[in-house]
Chain A
Amino acid sequence: EVQLVESGGGLVQPGGSLRLSCAASGFAFSNYAMTWVRQAPGKGLEWVSAISGSGGGTFYADSVKGRFTISRDNSKNTLYLQMNSLRVDETAVYYCAKEGWLQSLPSLDSWGQGTLVTVSS
């Protein structure tokens, strides 16, 4: 069974930093791209960042480019999101999700339970 468990969320001041982790199990982690998606309170889903299975390809939403860094340690089956210069409006639940390929088309077929990041003074 695929399991994704996020951690590292919490309260941080505006301009501060936080590193999120996502521990994966139940699948061959290094074979799959992974994604971070966030959801502000009462709002919709926002794609944030993604990384290829090898870690050689990284992708970011324009809103976080230059401030967030996605990475992975395939020896530890763990995905990370380093978030710097955080803004109040980035308060959200951050989900990690596994990219799957069904009928040769991509989707996010497994999700973690999310970790809450609160940016406030």
Chain B
Amino acid sequence: IEMTQSPSSLSASVGDRVTITCRASQSVINYLNWYQQKPGKAPKLLIYAASSLQTGVPSRFSGSGSGTDFTLTISSLQPEDFATYYCQQSYSTPRGTFGGGTKVEIK
């Protein structure tokens, strides 16, 4: 299963609403996870099952979608949110392919 994210990068300001999309080459139902990775650090699970927030993740993050189309939204971008975000399908677990990533940069 191939995962395609868009955009590959974006520039935004603190306080902006940011939306990242992820499309699967076939239905993954809601077997979709989102990870955040900061430079030089390991990825961190943000959202699982397409829309459920991992413990400790701020409520400004949200996920939606099912089937082949998914979105990650940050309602009000904070300085600590500048990072790269990856979607991952776990429908074909344990072979959980990742999207190409979306780098969120400061405008």
Binding site for B on A (CB under 8 A): 33, 35, 37, 44-47, 50, 52, 59, 61, 95, 99-100, 102-103, 105-109, 111-114
Binding site for A on B (CB under 8 A): 30-31, 33, 35, 37, 41-45, 48-49, 52, 54, 86, 88, 90, 93-101
Q: In the bound complex, do residue A105 and residue B90 qualify as a contact, i.e. CB atoms below 8 Å apart?
A: yes
Query: How many pairs of A and B residues are in contact by the CB < 8 Å rule?
Result: 72
Q: In the bound complex, do residue A106 and residue B93 qualify as a contact, i.e. CB atoms below 8 Å apart?
A: yes
For B49, list chain A residues within 8 Å (CB): 102-103, 105, 107
Majority secondary structure of chain A interface residues (helix, strand, loop or mixed):
strand
Nearest-neighbor residue (CB-CB) of B101 within chain A: A44
Nearest-neighbor residue (CB-CB) of A102 within chain B: B48
For A52, list chain B residues within 8 Å (CB): 94
Majority secondary structure of chain B interface residues (helix, strand, loop or mixed):
loop
Q: Which residue of B41, B44, B86 is within 8 Å of A45 (Cβ)?
A: B86
Per the bound structure, the CA–CA distance linking A93 and B94 in Å amounts to 20
For A45, list chain B residues within 8 Å (CB): 35, 37, 43, 86, 88, 98, 101
For B93, list chain A residues within 8 Å (CB): 99, 106
Can you name 21 A-B pairs with beta carbons within 8 Å? A33-B94, A44-B100, A44-B101, A45-B43, A45-B88, A47-B98, A50-B94, A95-B42, A95-B43, A100-B45, A103-B48, A105-B31, A105-B48, A106-B94, A107-B33, A107-B48, A107-B90, A108-B33, A109-B45, A109-B48, A113-B41
